[in-house]
């Protein structure tokens, strides 16, 4: 890639940016067509997607690495040299794998990459598994880098692109593999962007005035996937024992399901509440975040913006799996359950104590998988640069920090001391439930959203 040419006419840059937007559509479409389904338990295949994006970046004069953690479990990493060797590097990460899709449920084949109008908004969109999560982002970032190569542009600082496997399961074959065995590839990276924010959330302010919010993921709840087990006396169903495993487990699961977790608003969540309330003109009252009832009432007044905050004001634990027995007239000696726990920064000890109390004496629990919660500063130059990049292309936007209810590979890359933000910029039409398309049937992304994202990412990555 050549040096930055500041003498390029605006018309040349604009023509090339328009082309980059179309390139993002093409790249995302081709990535969708490369089935990279992650079935869990080590069963996945990201190789074709990794090779495709490596070839696309190789055409831009780069030398990407494709690293397999196991057969067909492929990761792509490349460093783009910046013009300032003393500047900190920036990591851009995304995952190549997608969750399964049953074609019989879809309007279009999920790996066809078809372009058709959205039924809810009427705007043209690209359909397919991964259109939202998150081949769209990989397509946009790759298009930006190819645009730089065409015009001889370079970023100020080194940028490391890491497009990885296995985010949809445990990250063992993807980000965790890279951080454990190839940490040198991320040398100098102090800030990262990945999935979990940057898209339009349409809300209504005082008097019903429309407000476009753009959340930026600045924290994530940790994952606490638990296995519960109860043991008891096995026997005949007609002579039930007093210490039945199923009853003990069912009682514990019911207690967990009914538990009302106390408030634990973290600094990022408090910042989110303040920023959203200010953007929407919601009046505040003393003590409106001091109790479950007051907090829930305040957040409910955010309307369509409420989901940005509601899941992250407290820890949670959701029963998701039950397993016991093999025949209806046989009392099993063991029963197990799966619990999806989510833990806020600083809420780890309280989560452990609560699970000990709720499971009781008859049921044991252990981590099937766990990851720490993470948080990045919202008063940082990086956050300011993210805000500025959005405002440059949507001046009426209101950019707000949020804590993500779920998790991303940010949890893994944060182990390297990197401040991780969720930022996949996308201007979306009102009426599209974009977060609701995550892992859903008929996943789709508006074409204009991809074109907008290319411009915002270009501005941020070269800032």
Query: Residue 375: what are its φ and ψ, rounded to 5°?
Result: -150, 145
- Give me the pLDDT at residue 1, please: 45
* 15 & 131 share domain: yes
- Tell which of 371, 393, 418 closes a domain: 371
CATH number for the domain spanning 356: value is 3.30.70.360
CA gap 371, 235 in Å, rounded:
39
Is residue 51 assigned to a domain?
yes
Q: What is the mean pLDDT of residues 259-278?
A: 98
Q: In terms of residue numbers, what domain contains 190?
A: 10-196+408-461
pLDDT at 272 over 90: yes
Residue 384, domain member (yes or no): no
Say yes or no to pLDDT of 97 above 80: yes
Q: In terms of domains, do 280 and 421 share one?
A: no
CATH at residue 159? 3.40.630.10
Write out the two tokens for 334: 């063991």
How many helices (DSSP H) and strands (DSSP E) are in the chain?
11, 21
Per-residue pLDDT, averaged over 123-141, amounts to 98
Q: List pLDDT tens digits, range 323-336.
A: 999 999 999 999 99
Buried b (16+ CB within 10 A) or exposed e, 31-62: bbbbbbbbeeeeebbbbebbebbbebbeebeb
> Looking at residue 350, what is its pLDDT?
98
> pLDDT at position 94, please?
98
262: in domain? yes
Phi, psi of 320 (to 5 degrees): -130, -20
Provide mean pLDDT across the span 245-255.
98
**197-222 per-position pLDDT tens digit:** 999 999 999 889 999 999 999 999 99
Q: Round to whole Å and give the CA distance between 42 and 461.
A: 34
- Confidence at residue 5, expressed as pLDDT on a 0 to 100 scale: 54
The answer to the question of residue 16 being in a domain is: yes
Q: Is 401 helix (H, G, I), strand (E, B) or coil?
A: strand
**Percent of the chain residues past pLDDT 70, beyond the cut:** 98
Mean pLDDT, rounded, for 225-246: 97
In a domain? residue 380: no
Residue 341's nearest CA partner among 422, 253, 421, 424 is 253
The Cα 157–Cα 160 span in angstroms is 10
The reported pLDDT for the residue numbered 6 is 58
Residues 181, 229, single domain; the answer is no
Shared domain for 231 and 266, answered yes or no, is: yes
| Alpha-carbon gap, residue 62 to 53, rounded angstroms | 11
- In this structure, the answer to whether residues 189 and 241 fall within a common structural domain is no
169 plus 43 within the same structural domain = yes
Separation CA 167–CA 439 (nearest Å): 13
Tell if the pTM clears 0.85, that is, is over it: yes
Whether 2 has a pLDDT exceeding 90, the answer reads no
pLDDT class of 8 with cuts at 50, 70, 90: confident
Question: Distance between CA 191 and CA 30 in Å, rounded?
Answer: 29
- Give the integer Cα–Cα distance in Å for 256 and 360: 11
Report the domain count for the chain: 2
Res 207: pLDDT:
87
178 plus 248 within the same structural domain: no
CA distance from start to end of the chain: 17
Q: In terms of Cα–Cα distance, which of 27, 138, 140, 77 is closest to 389?
A: 140
pLDDT of residue 152: 96
> Distance between CA 231 and CA 26 in Å, rounded?
55
Structural domain contains residue 132: yes
Q: How far apart, in whole angstroms, are the C-alpha atoms of residue 33 and residue 27?
A: 10
Between CA 266 and CA 326 the distance in angstroms is 45
- Do 235 and 306 sit in the same domain of this protein? yes
Find all residues with CB under 8 Å of 103, minimum gap 6, and list them: 109, 110
pLDDT tens column, 395-438: 999 999 999 999 999 999 999 999 999 999 999 999 999 999 99
Question: Distance between CA 213 and CA 352 in Å, rounded?
Answer: 35
Task: Check if the beta carbon of residue 440 is closer than 8 Å to that of residue 105.
Answer: no
Considering the domain architecture, whether residues 106 and 166 belong to the same structural domain is answered as yes
**Domain end among 351, 371, 391:** 371
């Amino acid at each position: 890639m050549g040096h930055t040419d500041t003498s390029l006419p605006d018309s040349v840059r604009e023509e090339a940016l328009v082309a980059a937007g179309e390139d993002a559509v093409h790249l995302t479409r081709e990535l969708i067509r490369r089935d990279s389904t992650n079935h869990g338990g080590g069963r996945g295949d990201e190789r074709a997607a990794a090779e495709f994006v490596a070839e696309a970046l190789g055409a831009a004069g780069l030398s990407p690495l494709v690293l397999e953690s196991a057969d067909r479990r492929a990761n792509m990493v490349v460093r783009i040299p910046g013009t300032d060797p003393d500047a900190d590097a920036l990591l851009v990460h995304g995952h190549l794998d997608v969750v399964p899709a049953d074609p019989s449920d879809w309007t279009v084949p999920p790996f066809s990459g078809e372009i058709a109008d959205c039924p809810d908004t009427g705007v043209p969109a690209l359909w397919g598994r991964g259109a939202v999560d998150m081949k769209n982002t990989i397509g946009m970032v790759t298009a930006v880098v190819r645009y730089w190569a065409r015009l001889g542009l370079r970023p100020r600082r080194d940028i490391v692109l890491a497009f990885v496997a296995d985010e949809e399961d445990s990250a063992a074959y993807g980000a965790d593999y890279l951080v454990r065995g190839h940490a040198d590839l991320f040398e100098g990276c102090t800030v990262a962007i990945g999935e979990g924010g940057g898209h339009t959330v349409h809300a209504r302010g005082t008097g019903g005035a429309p407000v476009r919010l753009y959340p930026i993921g600045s924290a994530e709840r940790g994952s606490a996937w638990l296995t519960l087990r109860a043991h008891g006396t096995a026997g005949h169903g007609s002579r039930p024992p007093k210490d039945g495993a199923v009853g003990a487990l069912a009682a514990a699961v019911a207690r967990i399901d009914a538990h009302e977790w106390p408030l634990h608003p973290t600094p990022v969540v408090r910042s989110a509440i303040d920023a959203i309330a200010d953007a929407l003109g919601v009046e505040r009252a003393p003590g409106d975040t001091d109790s479950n009832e007051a907090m829930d009432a305040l957040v409910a007044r955010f309307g369509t913006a409420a989901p940005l905050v509601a899941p992250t004001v407290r820890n949670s634990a959701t029963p998701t799996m039950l397993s016991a027995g093999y025949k209806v007239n046989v009392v099993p000696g063991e029963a197990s359950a799966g619990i999806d726990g989510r833990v806020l920064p600083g809420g780890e000890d309280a989560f452990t104590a609560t699970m000990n109390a709720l499971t009781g004496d008859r049921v044991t629990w252990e981590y099937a998988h766990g990851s720490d919660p993470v948080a990045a500063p919202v008063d940082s130059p990086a956050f300011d640069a993210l805000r500025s990049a959005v405002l440059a292309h949507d001046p009426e936007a209101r950019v707000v920090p949020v804590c993500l209810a779920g998790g991303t590979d940010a949890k893994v890359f944060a182990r390297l001391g990197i401040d991780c933000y969720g930022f996949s910029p996308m201007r979306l039409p009102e009426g599209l439930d974009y977060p609701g398309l995550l892992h859903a049937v008929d996943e789709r992304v508006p074409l204009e959203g991809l074109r907008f994202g290319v411009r915002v990412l270009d501005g941020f990555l070269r800032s």
